[in-house]
Amino acid sequence: MKSEGFLPNNSTLSALMLCYADNGLFPKAQALWDEIINSSFGPNIQIVSKLIDAYGKMGHFGEVTRILNQVSSRDFNFMHEVYSLAISCFGKGGQLEMMENALKEMVSRGFPVDSATGNAFIRYYSIFGSLTEMEAAYDRLKKSRILIEEEGIRAMSFAYIKEKKYYRLGQFLRDVGLGRKNVGNLLWNLLLLSYAANFKMKSLQREFLEMVEAGFAPDLTTFNIRAMAFSRMSLFWDLHLSLEHMQHVKVVADLVTYGCVVDAYLDRRLGKNLDFALKKMNMDDSPLVSTDHFVFEVLGKGDFHSSSEAFLESKRNGKWTYRKLIATYLKKKYRSNQIFWNY
């Protein structure tokens, strides 16, 4: 192209630079970046975003800082967005100190911290920081009057769950505000889970009633948190009442719900009474899991649930139903004792 007397334009240089960066040829990418940033045209925000992403994926955070400084020195009108991109890049890479420095520099230049950046800040501290650091970041978010959103709530909750700090999880959820409607049942479900984790059944029941009285309709995850606790504690009466409540409010059971029933009866060697428990459930539905995955982070998966996932991965048995799954599970589990049930 050059030999023919054509000068590459900004678009051509940018495409070549990103090609180099994506393929790990960083010295060549850096050389082209220096040419672009010092040209009369300069880069656009899309190019900067892709370049920062390429460097971030390879862990070249020093180069991201260099890009930030170079763009800052040129005073482009998209500087605020570049700061947000850099903060996110550092956060994803677990570079909390670099993330902090970028945020402080952004604020010192008069750019506000928006909701997306503030919530990203919380998420990265939840993943890579200590609980104390995470809580300090959350306090800063509150002081800036930015509302913590669903992803931030989930990230902080998982951090507490990972450390088994269920009391602190409950305090956090109450501080966020259980009355918030814009995140659905998330806050209430996590609160119920904090009690189910230690099988505090009275508190679990009390908070469930509080949830209903506050105007929140229980969903499948709500019911399955309680069903898993009832199942593990062999509280058959409560389990049956919960199933009837689900039917009354037309919440459809999933694989987790069936697993709670099957495991509860088999753990107490009451397998021949399964018909009584399952007769009101639709055994010919196709199996699926619709329960929020954070439940399994705390309570794990029951034996029927885990075994069923292995069965479902097999394509040899055609279309699965709950009836077929349960029959297969029982035959496998009790083959040595020649105990079978007809479903």
Q: How far apart are CA 126 and CA 134, in angstroms?
A: 5
Q: With 90 as the cut, is the pLDDT of residue 153 above it?
A: yes
Tell me the average pLDDT of the chain.
89
pTM: 0.85
Q: Predicted confidence band at 5 (pLDDT cuts at 50, 70, 90)?
A: low
Q: Would you say 146 and 113 are in contact if contact means Cβ atoms under 8 Å apart?
A: yes
Reported as half-sphere exposure (CB side, CA atoms, 13 A), residue 221 has a value of: 20
12-21, 111-120, 178-187, range with the lowest pLDDT: 12-21
- 147 contact partners, CB below 8 Å, separation of at least 6: 115
Which spans in 109-217 are helix H?
A: 115-128, 131-143, 150-162, 166-176, 186-196, 201-213
Q: How far apart are CA 49 and CA 145, in angstroms?
A: 28
Percent of the chain with pLDDT over 70: 92
Q: How far apart are CA 27 and CA 25, in angstroms?
A: 6
Mean pLDDT of 203-213: 96
Mean pLDDT of 123-139: 96
Mean pLDDT of 121-144: 95
Retrieve residue 272's tokens: 């021949």
* Confidence (pLDDT) at 331: 85
- The residue among 316 and 185 whose pLDDT is bigger is 185
* Confidence (pLDDT) at 72: 83
Q: Predicted confidence band at 332 (pLDDT cuts at 50, 70, 90)?
A: confident
Q: With 50 as the cut, is the pLDDT of residue 210 above it?
A: yes
* Confidence (pLDDT) at 280: 80
Cα separation values, 316 from 303, 310, 325, 332, Å: 22, 12, 13, 16
Q: Predicted confidence band at 340 (pLDDT cuts at 50, 70, 90)?
A: very low
* Confidence (pLDDT) at 339: 47
pLDDT tens for each residue of 285-322: 999 999 999 999 999 999 999 999 988 887 666 789 99
